[in-house]
Chain A
Amino acid sequence: AQSVTQLGSHVSVSEGALVLLRCNYSSSVPPYLFWYVQYPNQGLQLLLKYTTGATLVKGINGFEAEFKKSETSFHLTKPSAHMSDAAEYFCAVSWLGGAQKLVFGQGTRLTINP
């Protein structure tokens, strides 16, 4: 069964520092990969997604992620954290033939220290 693992339920970085949120997946077929952000008391907002093509994907708010098939990873990064980046981040996977169902990771809460 497909699964998604986010390493670290809570990540804390200083403002201006690098943000790295880890995501690994298990899938027997080529996946579609997503990162979503959830601000308090709100729904999900898509940050970026990988379907096919270039493995380095750029998203909104300066975030990017790289699909590494050999490592079954899709880590999310941002060179310089901003206070407004504080939120919950979810990695998710779907797959061709999976009826577009998303399987979510456990989520990582990102805290930005001033």
Chain B
Amino acid sequence: GAVVSQHPSWVICKSGTSVKIECRSLDFQATTMFWYRQFPKQSLMLMATSNEGSKATYEQGVEKDKFLINHASLTLSTLTVTSAHPEDSSFYICSATRDSSGNTIYFGEGSWLTVV
């Protein structure tokens, strides 16, 4: 079956530094990828929609300059948290869709970010 992989699974960084999280579709081409964040004991909130070769579309309230999303190829999207602060600590999950019907969506394993 289709697999979406995220790396790293766990990352700890110092305040003020930047950290990059990768999301890869391993056996299909993903024209669209989505980034979500999940705070402890809460639901997933969509951050942005990433389309290959174009700028990401951010949800209201998500800082574009802080959460940089790049979707340079059909199998890779990256989320960079710039100038990270402790409040950015969260579980970040990506998903990818392999077709345009909207009913086949695969999630990555998620990445835990802790900012100290």
Contact = CB atoms under 8 A, between A and B. Distances in A.
Interface of A: 32, 34, 36, 41-46, 49, 51, 90, 94-96, 98-107
B34 to A, nearest CB: 7
B13 interface: no
Interface stretch (B14-22, B42-50, B73-81): B42-50
B105 A100 contact: yes
Nearest to B6: A43
B24 to A, nearest CB: 14
A27 to B, nearest CB: 13
A94 B100 CA distance: 13
Contact of A43 (B43, B100, B109): B109
Interface string B91-110: 00101010011110111111
Contacts of A51: 101, 103
